[in-house]
């Protein structure tokens, strides 16, 4: 019985000591896991059509004129502050064109209008075509309220 108790105590101490020794690679794995979780984009909400977004007062804050129409969009963010929109947009202009950052802006909760830092779009728009585009807005503490374009 005494031998059994000693064996259990020895096994317990051995297993505890293995948990107590964490090397640098384990710490780096934990750090990388935390960073990766902060970069993961999370769905926030879907907006159908173009919700009323206040038009900027100053011309430099307004999107450039275009023939694009926002059909719907999904807003995503990360814990680290990255902001992204997956938008469905229709082109009412000629064919062979691509959406430019200056033609679309997001309205943020801090009352600023920001054009995307990058746009991902597969191919160019044909006349009357509707496609999905991904708009990246970088990192900020402010939330995206809405998306706007300015038609002729």
| pLDDT tier, 36 (very low <50, low <70, confident <90, very high otherwise) | low
Q: In the numeric block, which tokens belong to residue 96?
A: 């062979």
Q: Which two tokens stand for residue 115?
A: 């054009």
β-bridge mates for residue 73, sequence order: 47, 87
DSSP reduced 3-state for 32: helix
Residues in the chain: 152
Mean pLDDT (whole number) for 78-101: 94
pLDDT at 52: 82
The whole-number pLDDT of residue 3 equals: 62
What is the C-alpha to C-alpha distance for residues 149 and 29, in angstroms, rounded to an integer?
A: 43
Q: Report the pLDDT value the prediction gives residue 110, as an integer from 0 to 100.
A: 95
- Give the count of beta carbons closer than 10 Å to the beta carbon of residue 66: 20
Per-residue pLDDT reduced to its tens digit, 49-65: 767 888 899 999 999 99
pLDDT in the model for residue 55:
87
Structure tokens at 60: 């430099």
pLDDT digits (tens, 9 = 90+) for 9-27: 666 655 555 555 566 777 7
pTM of the prediction? Answer: 0.76
SS3 67: coil
Q: Sort strands 118-121 and 130-139 into parallel, antiparallel or unpaired.
A: antiparallel
């Amino acid at each position: 019985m005494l031998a059994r108790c000693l064996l259990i105590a020895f096994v317990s101490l051995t297993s505890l000591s293995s948990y107590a020794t964490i090397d640098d690679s384990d710490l780096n794995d934990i750090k990388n896991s935390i960073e990766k979780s902060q970069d993961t984009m999370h769905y926030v909400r879907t907006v159908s059509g173009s919700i009323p977004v206040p038009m900027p007062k100053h011309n430099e804050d307004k999107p450039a004129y275009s023939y694009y129409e926002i059909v719907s969009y999904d807003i995503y963010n990360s814990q680290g502050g990255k902001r992204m929109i997956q938008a469905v947009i229709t082109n009412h202009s000629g064919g062979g064109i691509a959406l430019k950052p200056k033609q679309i802006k997001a309205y943020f909760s801090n009352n600023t209008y920001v054009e995307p830092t990058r746009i991902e779009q597969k191919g160019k728009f044909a006349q009357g075509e509707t496609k999905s585009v991904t708009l990246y807005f970088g990192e900020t503490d402010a939330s995206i309220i809405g998306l706007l374009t300015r038609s002729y």
